[in-house]
Each structure stands twice: as structure tokens, then as C-alpha cells.
Chain A
């Protein structure tokens, strides 16, 4: 581990400025501790034993913009993570979504696509998939390419499957993928109405009116100020009474725009735009 490496606050600031100047990537809205850890990890990965060495490495552009972004951002995700959330959506939210002739859903920070696929399965089981468009965005084009393919490790499907059942899934998860060579390829039908676009939440703008926005485990990497900016963007992108779903350990409680949202389920972090 990074036990023997150190970077000071000033050095972390230096890193933020260097990435902006040399790579055009703005990390200033990132939560500091997580960022510091990612930088330490990258230093170790590139065998830089001091920040000075790392600065030299960066200054000589030994990484591509994409690589730097991929190494610093965290892309952990899984299918039906926090199954209670999916169960709640299915039991309480789908009946509202059903009232719209066309349903727009935005997965902000979709990573490798497990969440849009999970939702697609439940939407299909409730006859809503064909009139839903799922906008899947991420800052990282590499994970978006993986999301588009919809191919995952077969051994992960076992955990996913248990959570699918606990979410109240009607079938068997294996009905939705083809297994081969140790991989699982999700059925093409699930991804038919998905639109994959590179979008940066740090400076991105609204691009459609959404009935629901899912953005789970992105806020944990952002400063409070940045979280508020993103929440503003989400509120502006939601139809009146549209839903916002954050990560179960994230909270809009500390936000300045909270009065524009109603809490639907505080534990599961499900909110609704007031008007």
C-alpha cells in the first residue's frame, strides 16, 4: 500500500493545477481525501517515490488525458446494488412513471452500465421498457464503451443474481444473458433504448427533461460545493414531480437546494422535485 508515500496539501493543490493546465482535466470539485488517495495510488503505480518525481512524470505528459482520468476516477458498480432501492422503484415509483407516454431516465455517472441494465430488466418485466429512453452518461469514455458492450464476468453474475431476486425480479437473471468463455453478455434488447454519451457533471449542462435521474455513489467523490452545483443541474433537468435517486450513503441533507426537493424515502435516498 501507499504507507510510505506522502503528499502535502500544497502538493495536492499542485496536482489539481497541473492536471488542469497540462491535461485539461479539472479535479477541483473532487473530495480531497479520496483524491489524495487516488493520487498516492497512481504515484505508486508509476513508481514515483516522491511528489517531485510524480510532477516530472506528469509534466512530461507520460499519461494520456484518458489514462489520467481513468486512474483518478473510481468506477466501482454492480447490478442491483442495494436491492431495496430497486424494489422500492418497482413497487412505488413505476406506477407513477407508467403515467407518462414516454419515460426519460438519466443515469448520471453510469460507469460500466450495470445500473441502467438492472433498471432495464425491471422495466421490461413491467412492460415499460419499450417506451423508456435511458440516457447513460459518464465522464470516462472507456467505461462507456464497456457499458455499450454489456459484457461482464460470469462469476459476478452469482452475486447479481441474488440481488436481482431480492429486488423482486420476476424471472431468473440468467434469462437475460448468454454465458460463454467465462463472460456473460446481456441481451441486446435491454440496451436498445439506451443512449450513451460522454458528459461531465463538473461543468455539464442539462440536455433533456427527465422523469427520473439516478446518480448513485458519485457525490461521495465531490466537494460539498460541487455537489450543490450538480444538484442544481439535476433539479433543472427534472420534470415537475420527477424523481432523483442518490446513493444510500449519500445525502442531500447538507445541500442548499434541499427545499426544492421532497424526501420520498430518506433511508434509500429517493427524492422528488416539488414542482
Chain B
């Protein structure tokens, strides 16, 4: 019994898809609009949120989203296994990565682009271990963190969806991603972000 369960688990691990939502200044509002579409039933992927936040910010965002949404929202702790239908929020002050066994890991190494968590770090790590099962979303933000990471995602056949910079509160981050790539899979309006991502899971 235990054996068959572990096989089943392993199997779902090798097929799990992940949506990695990255943003900075002005991204919370976009995230909120994005999440209004989410329900336990239609989220057939794990959703991981990487937002630049001030260190010391407590998990207010997690509490707020848990109250508001009909989906499980978890603050990421080191070693937590990814499950589909769950939303994971990266803590301020740590880089967030994905291990080969589909557990999330944290790290306190140097900031990248003045940021920890950094979208570059997460995009690189998630795409390394997920290849084409990663759907990356990059939205509003005031620095170019995410542009290098997006190159890794693209090279490893993941999907890239960018919020149309003209709609972004701060357009540097989405623009930098677009500029860094030969081809972006989708550049869409805020409203279309969820629908576009959902095509892939």
C-alpha cells in the first residue's frame, strides 16, 4: 500500500507543471486580478509567487490571500513539496529554488539585481528542473530582474508570458524580459494573463 502510494506520488512529480509568477513594484494588484480567476478545481498546476518585498514583512500577504481565495495559499518553508492546486508565496529575504525532487528550497546567498528573492534565481532554478513544464509570468517591476532568468526558461523550452508593459505600473521588468529574448511566447493584457497561462495546464 505504502509502496503503491509512493509510486503514484513519484509519478505526479514527474508531470507536475508550475506557474512561476514574478513581479516587483506594482505587481500585487496584478497578482490579485490574476488570482480572482483561480479555483482549486481549475488550477491544475502549482503556482509559485516571487515578489520583491521588504525584509521583515510578515506573512500578511499569505493571510490576506487565504481569507480571500478559495484555494490553499502557503508561505514557503524550506523543503516543502510542490503540489498542484496550491499557491506558494516566497518569503522576503530568501532566494527560492526548486529541487529535482520537486521540493522548494531557500537560500540566503547574495542578492541578485538588489533583490532577494530574485526572479532571475528562481527562473533559472525552476527551469533547470522543470524544462518545458514551467510557465513563467513576468509582470510590473522597476528593475530588470527576470531578464536573465527568462533567457534560461526560453532555452529550456519553458513558456514565457509577459504583462504588456504599456499596462504595467512599472514597465522596466516586463520590458527587459521582452528585450532580452528573440521571441516571447505571449505579451498580453493584465486581464488575459490567467487565460493565457491556463492554456498550458
Contacts and interface: CB of A to CB of B under 8 A. Distances in A.
A33 B78 contact: no
B11 to A, nearest CB: 20
Given A249-B76, A249-B91, A254-B79, A1 B112 contact: yes
A246 to B, nearest CB: 10
Interface residues of B, number: 27
Interface string A119-134: 0000000000000000
A103 B98 CA distance: 40
Contact of B99 (A33, A38, A76): A33
Contacts of B108: 74, 76, 217, 220
B148 interface: yes
Contacts of A36: 125, 128
A137 to B, nearest CB: 18
A224 to B, nearest CB: 7
Contact of B107 (A3, A220, A254): A220
Nearest to B109: A74
B152 A3 contact: yes
A3 B149 contact: yes
Given A1-B148, A3-B149, A249-B91, A37 B79 contact: no
Contact-size category for A = 20 to 34
Given A3-B151, A31-B99, A76-B109, A37 B78 contact: no
Contact of B97 (A33, A217, A219, A250): A33
Given A249-B78, A249-B106, A33 B152 contact: no
B181 to A, nearest CB: 11
Contacts of B124: 1-3, 37
Interface string A3-29: 110000100000000000000000000
Given A37-B125, A220-B106, A3 B79 contact: no
B112 A251 contact: no
B120 interface: yes
A32 B100 CA distance: 8
Nearest to A269: B77
B134 interface: no
A160 interface: no
A219 B108 CA distance: 11
Contact of B109 (A4, A9, A34, A247): A34
B107 A221 contact: yes
Interface string B119-150: 01100110011000000000000000000110
A172 B65 CA distance: 37
B94 interface: yes
A258 to B, nearest CB: 13
Interface string A187-229: 0000000000000000000000000000001011100100000
A142 B123 CA distance: 32
A249 B151 CA distance: 29
Contacts of A247: 78
A120 to B, nearest CB: 22
A34 B148 contact: no
A194 to B, nearest CB: 23
Contacts of A221: 107
Contacts of B110: 76
Which one of B76, B110, B128, B129 has the greatest number of beta carbons of chain A within 10 Å? B128
B189 interface: no
Given A3-B151, A74-B108, A217-B108, A33 B79 contact: no
Interface of B: 76-79, 91, 94, 97-100, 105-110, 112, 120-121, 124-125, 128-129, 148-149, 151-152
